[in-house]
Amino acid sequence: MIEIKNLNKKFGKNHVLKTISLSIVSGKVTAVVGPNGSGKTTLIKSVLGLVNQTDGEILVDGENTKGNFSYRNKIGYMPQAAKYPDNLTTNELLSLVKDLRANGDSRSKELIESFNLKSELEKPFKNLSGGTKQKVSVLISFAFNPQIYFLDEPTAGLDPISSSYFKDLVAKEKENKKTIVLTSHIMGEIQEIADEIVFLLEGEIKYKGTISSLLEHKKETKLERAIAELMSGVEK
């Protein structure tokens, strides 16, 4: 479980996150959405410890993250753009991450097979196609069986078969009571796989709750339309 209490982040005079308080529970998929510049990436990087908050608290399984690095071993992070050392092969990347992670590699064989990566294992990362790089990012994020996932635009560049398998993978991890946070600009995808949604606008939470409740409140069937109304301030 992730607890965020009165979180603020300023970059100079730019107040990016404004007193954010949020609980993210296990066993559900929580989508963080909002327009560009709304604070989504800063919020995620604050939890990951890649950005230092101006004030407020972040707790992961009751453990304060400030000045603490051990909690990161519980997290699998899939960035929007896969950036790893260009000259390392996929096998070498796996070995590198394995040396850094406290929990062992328990599922790389399954993932390599499911994403058809066997023929790509000895190629330098820089020589892989964009879609294959995204598959490698899935592999590295899921191979070490973390308790928490942060997935940033995870299906971008994936072919339909890989995208479908990825969604099955997320559903399985949800059944295993993992904590899953994702961002995506594809509202249909979020409606398909997420349980709860956090809508950010100009650094503030404008909605937090289930997708079904939002659709019911806005009298819509498509999440895209409901989100558009939140952005424009339309009430029904």
- In this predicted structure, what is the pLDDT of residue 230? 85
- In this predicted structure, what is the pLDDT of residue 99? 83
Domain containing 147 — which CATH number? 3.40.50.300
- In this predicted structure, what is the pLDDT of residue 123? 96
- Residue 79 is given by DSSP the state -
- How far is the C-alpha of 90 from the C-alpha of 120, rounded, in Å? 7
Q: Which two tokens stand for residue 70?
A: 């051990």
Range of the domain at 103: 2-232
Count how many Cα atoms sit within 13 Å of the Cα of residue 71 in the half-sphere of its side chain.
19
- In this predicted structure, what is the pLDDT of residue 3? 96
- What is the block-wise mean pLDDT of the chain (236 residues), using blocks of 10 residues? 95 94 95 91 92 94 89 90 90 88 77 94 95 94 92 91 94 96 91 95 94 93 91 62
- In this predicted structure, what is the pLDDT of residue 104? 66
- In this predicted structure, what is the pLDDT of residue 83? 84
Domain count, the chain: 1
- In this predicted structure, what is the pLDDT of residue 102? 64
- In this predicted structure, what is the pLDDT of residue 91? 94
- In this predicted structure, what is the pLDDT of residue 14? 93
Burial of residue 37 (number of CB atoms within 10 Å: 0-12, 13-18, 19+):
middle
- How far is the C-alpha of 5 from the C-alpha of 3, rounded, in Å? 6
DSSP β-ladder status, 55-60 and 63-64 = antiparallel
- In this predicted structure, what is the pLDDT of residue 106? 72
DSSP string computed for 118-131: GGGTTSBGGGS-HH
Cα–Cα nearest to 22, from 51, 52, 49, 46: 46
